[in-house]
Structure 1
């Protein structure tokens, strides 16, 4: 009798283990934020700044892991295929989750169906920078336009990859100005910035998050921002309309946090709330606005609001890609 009772108790305990495991509080181990671009890229800078306060909020380490290649598609694909258990997220961009849908003829994932939008992280503008050492003659937009009109394709601009915002910003500017610039794509931020500083390229329509350090160190000169209004972090740098006499232009994109599709609702809401609280804090907002020239969301934003932003940008950038003629297969 005693033996039968012990066996029954053991079986009951064994069958309850999965339920107990499922009810374990999240997170119970480190959380990974994956990125699709190299160290030093704007997404990498943002992810590492976010990781520390998020680790404290979640009570677990938050690890940043960059898996580069194919315009961010390598990292995106890994997250799309990850288990939706709240331990793998992706710091994506309008490039990885809107532009690439039009740029690539085939993707191994669907930018809408295979991801759960968690929270919008901010709008990221572009700024035209040049090397004052290598191109001392390019001191203004008018100097750039004069050189470009004198010799079509004589001026080159680097980008962080075909179809990246740094490419399409240059393409939009060239179309608006009626000039022909030579596009030279690189694999990420380090290559494009290195080429500019070495004099291998003339211009770089860079994202502000990655450009602010070199601008403040005097390595590069900022000629204008591709926004409708001046930026608080660069108050002396004119807009493209002011500097070039062109119609107002805004090539800003966004950063956002994604999880795999079917992320459990409690985890989605917890992560959304924690990140919103962090990026809404005065300290973090000051870092975004005055250090990175990134505009944080006006108010805490929901996953549903972020989904609508993403859907609208898929359509918007499809038209920009079509006009630019950019294509990657």
Structure 2
């Protein structure tokens, strides 16, 4: 009897993993990892999305920001995570397209080691200055004059080497024939603090994190790096209008990735729930008017997101080459 009981217990224990695998997804909290600090554009978006997504999936969404190396630290952790549907990444065109060209060696492949799940929207960049510390920089022409008079004397902050804010500044400098000093930070909060303290002159910030300081009057928006004006900033000119330069668009995107080989049913469910949330009038209004982010067009499938990512890997590689931007 004792031997039979031991055998039965052993068989039951051996069956537990199979039973756990058969349990409906999700049955425990889900981690949505980010590569930039609290207050960054990705963090703002992730926290707004987390509450309705948790209700839809019936499990808590835990935001876990692992900062550093232009988002590569967080990306690497997700690339090496189990593809079980409990670890996702709040990626950007910076982390999953630009970095592939800027960094000589990455511990992961941005295409092979991730599963694109859902595109979250297009994110423009806006040039902001501190009107108190840099009262002379009232418009683009003033920036051009100051930068051309003293090469490397005018500095711009970014959210890290390889981030879209870095490339936006590099693209602008190349188009205008300027030699600007790049100062990278670990996310928007550090760069904003440096702008407000006067430690840097300019910040080519993503609109999601810039809208608050702009509306509070802490910073002045000189122009948006898009081809058309933004609905959320109707009085702010485009870079073409303000600077007399050819039209330029440095907009990037946010999107959710899982590790490679994420099961198709999980990808489908996550994609459907997120699309349903961001299609609601309330969430769309928040994106467009509060964050100046353009929501993705329907149907916004994982396959379409994958095509967008692949195209941007090639596009940003060319931008990096032409701009001469490097990781310091």
Give the TM-score band, short-chain normalised: over 0.9
Whether contact under 8 Å (1:280, 1:300) holds in the other structure is no
Instruction: Give the Cα separation in 2 of the matches to 1:6 and 1:173.
Output: 74
Question: What residue ranges of structure 1 are gaps of 5+ in the alignment?
Answer: none
SS in 1 for 2:298: coil
1:328 Cα deviation from its structure 2 partner: 2.9
Where do residues 64-103 of structure 1 align in structure 2 (5 Å cutoff)? 64-103=63-102
Contact 2:170 2:325 survives alignment (8 Å): no
Q: How many equivalent residue pairs?
A: 328
Cα root mean square deviation, aligned: 1.7
- Secondary structure of the structure 1 residue equivalent to 2:151: coil
Q: CA deviation at 1:10?
A: 6.2
Q: Equivalent residue of 1:241, what SS?
A: helix
Asked whether the 8 Å contact 1:33–1:63 carries over to 2, the reply is yes
Q: Residues 11, 134 of structure 1: CA spacing in aligned structure 2 closer, same or farther, 3 A cutoff?
A: closer
Under a length normalisation based on structure 2, what TM-score does the superposition of the two structures give? 0.96
* Contact 1:152/1:181, CA 8 A, preserved across alignment: yes
Q: 1:245 to 1:25 in 2, by over 3 A?
A: same
**Cα distance 1:150–1:18, how it changes in 2: closer, same or farther (>3 A)?**
closer
Deviations 1:15-66 (A, max 9, x none): 5443322210111100000000011000000000010000000000001000
Partner residue, 2:130 = 131
Q: Secondary structure at the match of 2:241?
A: helix
Whole-angstrom CA distance in 1 between matches of 2:53 and 2:249: 31
In the TM superposition, residue 180 of structure 1 has moved relative to its aligned partner by 1.9
**Shift of residue 146 of structure 1?**
1.6
User: Where do residues 1-329 of structure 1 align in structure 2 (5 Å cutoff)?
Assistant: 16-328=15-327
CA contact (8 A) 1:91 1:255 kept: yes
Deviations 1:41-94 (A, max 9, x none): 000000000100000000000010000011101000000000000000000000
Distance 2:154 2:9 in 1: 76
- Whole-Å Cα distance in 1 between the matches of residues 39 and 255 of structure 2? 17
* Structure 2 stretches lacking a partner, 5+ long: none
TM-score (norm 1): 0.95
Call closer, same or farther: CA 1:178–1:5 in 2, change over 3 Å. closer
CA distance in 1, matches of 2:163, 2:8: 60
